[in-house]
Chains A and B, each alone.
Chain A
Amino acid sequence: MERETLQEERQLQNAVVRLNAKLLGIVTGLLLGIGLFLATVVLVLKGGPDPGVHLGLLSQFFPGYKVTFLGSFIGFGYAFFTGYLIGIVLGAVYNKVARI
């Protein structure tokens, strides 16, 4: 019994989580995309003379993005793509180093 427990503990210590890079990419992409979409929509709904001055700076990296209702969909696309790339790279590098 005790030997089995020790063996199980050793197996758990030796085991390492492997990441599914594609899945991680989709999850990260969705998180970033929905996050930017919601942030933009909230600022648009709040309104004001010049809504989202700081969030609008993202247009430096995401051409076409604006703090408008249409811009929130464009932002979702850009952020999803960026998040997908981040997830893919994160998963790929992790799995490669973990295998060493």
Chain B
Amino acid sequence: MELLPKTRVELRLRVHLGPHVVEELTTPAQQTTIPAPVLLAFAPLHRMALGAAAGVVYGGMMFVLTEILVLKGGYPLGPNLALFGEFFYGYSVSFTGGFVGLAWGFGVGFMLGWGFAVVHNLVIWVWLVIIRSQAEMEQYGDFLDHM
């Protein structure tokens, strides 16, 4: 009887699981890794969502304020609000100007909201990096003492 030399055998298995089974297998493991309060504290803001929300609010405000002044009437019509026309090309305190203000307001609000989320997420990321590096320093700081 001949002895075969010891070789390392790699056994690969391919198992096909339905999406339902995969979800059941992965979800509990993912849930238990990070506690929910920690996840809530470090979870990033959704950039597009905050941009859209801020855009809707700002655009809506521009529209409503303009149309209120138009409905109230008088002369001169909204001289102070009309100063937005200096920055928002085409804007005036008129019925159509309300829609121009809506578009401009949505654009500016979107940029503000999106920018806020980007900066917020960036600060969280830097914060996480600092916390992680501090934890690693504490964990491996006395590594040489054990040699």
Contacts and interface: CB of A to CB of B under 8 A. Distances in A.
Interface of A: 4, 7-8, 11-13, 15-17, 54, 57, 60-61, 86, 89-98
Contacts of A94: 46, 49-50, 52-53
Contacts of B133: none
Interface of B: 30, 33-34, 39-40, 42-46, 48-50, 52-54, 56-57, 60-61, 65, 68-69, 72, 78, 80, 128
User: Which of A16, A17, A86 gathers the greatest number of chain B CB atoms within 10 Å?
Assistant: A17
Given A17-B46, A61-B65, A11 B34 contact: yes
User: Which of A7, A12, A86, A96 gathers the greatest number of chain B CB atoms within 10 Å?
Assistant: A12
A87 B48 CA distance: 17
14 contacts: A11-B30, A11-B34, A11-B39, A16-B46, A17-B46, A57-B80, A60-B68, A61-B68, A93-B49, A93-B52, A94-B50, A95-B49, A96-B49, A97-B49
A12 B42 contact: yes
Contacts of B60: 89
- Tell me what chain B mostly uses at the interface: helix, strand, loop, or mixed: helix
Given A57-B80, A93-B49, A15 B43 contact: yes
B38 to A, nearest CB: 9
Given A7-B30, A8-B33, A61-B65, A15 B53 contact: no
A16 B42 CA distance: 9
A95 B111 CA distance: 18
B57 A86 contact: yes
Nearest to A24: B53
Contacts of A17: 40, 43-46
A56 B44 CA distance: 40
B46 A12 contact: no
B46 A98 contact: yes
A23 to B, nearest CB: 14
